[in-house]
Amino acid sequence: MPDYRTRSATVRDLPRISAIYSHAVEHSLATFDLEPPDLDYWQTRLDGQHPGDHLIVAVNDDDDAVGYAYSWSFRPRPAYDYTRETSIYLDGSVRGQGVGLMLYPALLQTMAVSGVHTAIAAVSLPNAASERLHVRCGFQKVGEFREVGNKFDQWIDMAFYQRMLVNMPTGEAVVG
Binding site for ligand COA (CB under 6 A): 24, 30, 88-90, 95-101, 123, 127-130, 132-133, 136
Minimum CB distance to ligand COA, residue 42 (Å): 16
Residue of this chain nearest to ligand COA (CB atom):
100
DSSP state of 137: T
Sequence-distant (≥ 6) Cβ neighbours of residue 168 within 8 angstroms: 108, 109, 112, 174
Query: Where does 21-64 show beta strands of DSSP type E?
Result: 55-59
In whole angstroms, give the CA distance from residue 121 to residue 93.
23
Closest to ligand COA by CB, 93 vs 167, is 93
Closest to ligand COA by CB, 3 vs 79, is 3
Minimum CB distance to ligand COA, residue 100 (Å): 2
Closest to ligand COA by CB, 24 vs 112, is 24
Minimum CB distance to ligand COA, residue 89 (Å): 5
Minimum CB distance to ligand COA, residue 7 (Å): 17
Closest to ligand COA by CB, 88 vs 116, is 88
DSSP state of 83: E
Closest to ligand COA by CB, 97 vs 118, is 97
Minimum CB distance to ligand COA, residue 132 (Å): 3
Sequence-distant (≥ 6) Cβ neighbours of residue 131 within 8 angstroms: 123, 125, 141, 159, 161
CA distances from 27 to 30, 32, 94, 109, 121 (A): 9, 11, 17, 31, 21
